[in-house]
């Protein structure tokens, strides 16, 4: 393994994909700079391919000509060989990697023909894929597998810091057995988690931190990533939407800092109407830059058909990038004093939203119209709706207790509270430290709730 390669969860997925004898071409989606290309190159090295053919449609536009004679595998291979005769196609031992396919989505039409041909493995990748994905989906339905890649989660950060599965399993065991962590464990895990939150999960930022052992240089890398995201918006968004999409993007940090975190279009632009910005928020969500958390109409299952599409909160997909957009005083306060002042509640909510998305959950919240009841997030088990309360301080859990106690909420029997506190259980409320959030889905697999 390369000495500076960061182990990622996609590594195991790719190896298992290759073991499948009936594997389909793979599309790896994800934001810019989350490590897609690096991970695919790493896989090509360790998976035993005799030939690895990488084509980047941004850096090598000449390869857009390879579909001149159609989309069948033989024509494309022939035209690649014409453009570069050094590329070798060995039956059963070749991985073809089409990178930056956002710049040339037409190539995805060929996946059907590569699958039917069966001689070569094919992986496509690109940033901002979500914004072109309807076109890509229609061109390859039934002939591809999708994998969505994110920046590093806390588990991958622990791997980067040389912790292994034993540590992870021990943390999960504490949760399953409701066994509080020792003072030493709490101290170390909270310190690691604060490092992770401040840095975010972008591989370049993490690698720089591991190398230097300080936050030096991390902010400048994050600022450049934000600039790159804005450039992507200008590049891939069409027409007047560019300005409106950038307006939404720039407004997220300040709106998150408010007590009422519901995203309001009127704050962005005076007299702006919701319909003027329709599609802009979804565009940012599809791009992977932000995550949408929709408001539930009613506290009952199912979740997905029970939302108000006009009421939502917006969170950054990477908390480190969110922090890099805050005012300098807040950033200095966080790095020097481990404090975030006015942004504290927003920070913790963003942390939890990011972890839930990376575990495969969708985001939902609830706020009663009269403001008397509000819960930050919800997940579900087979039979239950589970409210999740995010606590920046040690205050009481009034809304959570209300939901659990009222008989009219038939689908809610218990809840989770995420805070800076140790593991605990009282009144059908399970308390876990923030650093355990990445384990919630694994915890739920064997969860057998107590009944008070």
Whether the CB-CB separation of 79 and 62 falls below 8 Å is answered with no
* pLDDT for the residue 3: 66
* pLDDT for the residue 201: 96
* pLDDT for the residue 215: 83
**In the chain, how many H helices and how many E strands?**
18, 14
**Cα 66 to Cα 78: distance, rounded to the nearest angstrom:** 8
Whether the CB-CB separation of 118 and 274 falls below 8 Å is answered with no
pLDDT tens per residue across all 452 residues of the chain: 466 899 999 999 999 999 999 999 999 999 889 999 999 999 999 999 999 999 999 999 999 999 999 999 999 999 999 999 999 999 999 999 999 998 898 999 999 999 999 999 999 998 765 555 555 655 667 889 999 999 999 999 999 999 999 999 999 999 999 999 999 999 999 999 999 988 999 999 999 999 998 888 888 999 999 999 898 888 877 766 888 999 999 999 888 878 778 888 888 887 777 777 878 888 888 888 899 999 999 988 888 888 998 899 999 999 999 988 887 777 777 776 666 555 677 888 999 999 999 999 999 999 988 777 889 999 998 888 999 999 866 667 788 998 898 888 888 999 999 998 999 999 999 999 999 999 999 999 999 886 55
**Cα 297 to Cα 306: distance, rounded to the nearest angstrom:** 6
Residue burial 310-335, b: 16+ Cβ < 10 Å; e: rest: eebbbbbbbbbbbbbbbeeebbebbb
**Cα 196 to Cα 203: distance, rounded to the nearest angstrom:** 12
Within 56-164, residue ranges assigned H as helices are 73-83, 111-117, 133-140, 154-160
| Listed residue (252, 420, 261) closest to 322, CA to CA | 252
pTM, two decimal places: 0.93
* pLDDT for the residue 267: 87
Per-residue tokens: 47: 């998976």
Which residue bears the tokens 């239950």? 384
Is residue 35 within a helix (H) or strand (E), and if so which, with residue range?
Answer: none
**What DSSP letter does each residue of 229-270 carry, written as one string?**
HHHHHHHHS-TTHHHHHHHHHHHHHHHHTSSS-S--HHHHST
Whether the CB-CB separation of 94 and 50 falls below 8 Å is answered with yes
Helix %, strand %, coil % for the chain, to 5?
50, 15, 35
């Amino acid at each position: 393994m390369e000495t500076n390669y960061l182990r990622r969860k996609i590594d195991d997925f790719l190896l298992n994909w290759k073991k499948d004898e009936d594997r389909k071409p793979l599309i790896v989606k994800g934001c810019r700079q989350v490590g897609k290309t690096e991970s695919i190159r790493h896989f090509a090295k360790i998976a035993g391919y005799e030939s690895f053919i990488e084509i980047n449609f941004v850096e090598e536009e000449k390869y857009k000509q390879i579909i001149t004679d159609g989309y069948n595998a033989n024509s494309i291979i022939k035209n690649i060989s014409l453009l570069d005769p050094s590329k070798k196609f060995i039956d059963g031992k070749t991985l073809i990697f089409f990178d930056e396919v956002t710049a040339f989505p037409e190539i995805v039409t060929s996946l059907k023909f590569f699958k039917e041909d069966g001689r070569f493995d094919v992986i496509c990748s690109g940033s901002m894929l979500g914004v072109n994905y309807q076109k890509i989906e229609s061109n390859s339905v039934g002939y591809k597998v999708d994998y969505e890649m994110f920046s590093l989660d806390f588990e991958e950060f622990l791997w980067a810091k040389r912790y292994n599965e034993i540590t992870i399993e021990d943390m999960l065991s504490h949760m399953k057995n409701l066994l509080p962590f020792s003072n030493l464990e709490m101290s170390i895990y909270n310190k690691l988690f604060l490092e992770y939150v401040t840095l975010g999960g972008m591989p370049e930022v993490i690698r720089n931190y591991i190398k230097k052992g300080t936050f030096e240089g991390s902010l400048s890398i994050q600022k450049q990533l934000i600039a790159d995201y804005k450039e992507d918006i200008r590049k891939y968004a069409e027409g007047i939407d560019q300005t409106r999409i950038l307006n939404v993007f720039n407004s997220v940090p300040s709106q998150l800092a408010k007590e009422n975190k519901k995203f309001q279009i009127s704050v962005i632009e005076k007299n702006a109407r919701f319909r003027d910005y329709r599609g802009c928020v979804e565009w940012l969500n599809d791009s992977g830059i932000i995550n949408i958390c929709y408001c539930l109409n009613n506290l009952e299952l199912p979740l997905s058909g029970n939302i108000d599409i006009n009421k939502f909160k917006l969170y950054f997909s990477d908390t480190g990038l969110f922090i890099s957009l805050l005012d300098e005083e807040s950033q200095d306060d966080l790095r020097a004093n481990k404090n975030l002042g006015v942004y504290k509640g927003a920070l913790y909510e963003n942390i939890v939203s990011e972890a839930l998305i990376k575990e495969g959950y969708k985001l939902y919240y609830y706020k009663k119209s009269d403001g008397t009841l509000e819960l930050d997030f919800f997940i579900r088990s087979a039979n239950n709706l589970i409210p999740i309360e995010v606590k920046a301080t040690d205050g009481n859990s009034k809304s959570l207790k209300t939901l659990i106690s009222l008989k009219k909420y038939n689908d809610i029997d218990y809840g989770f509270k995420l805070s800076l506190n140790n593991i605990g259980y009282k009144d059908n409320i399970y308390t876990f430290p923030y650093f355990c959030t990445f384990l919630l889905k694994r915890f739920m697999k064997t969860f057998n709730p107590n009944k008070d």
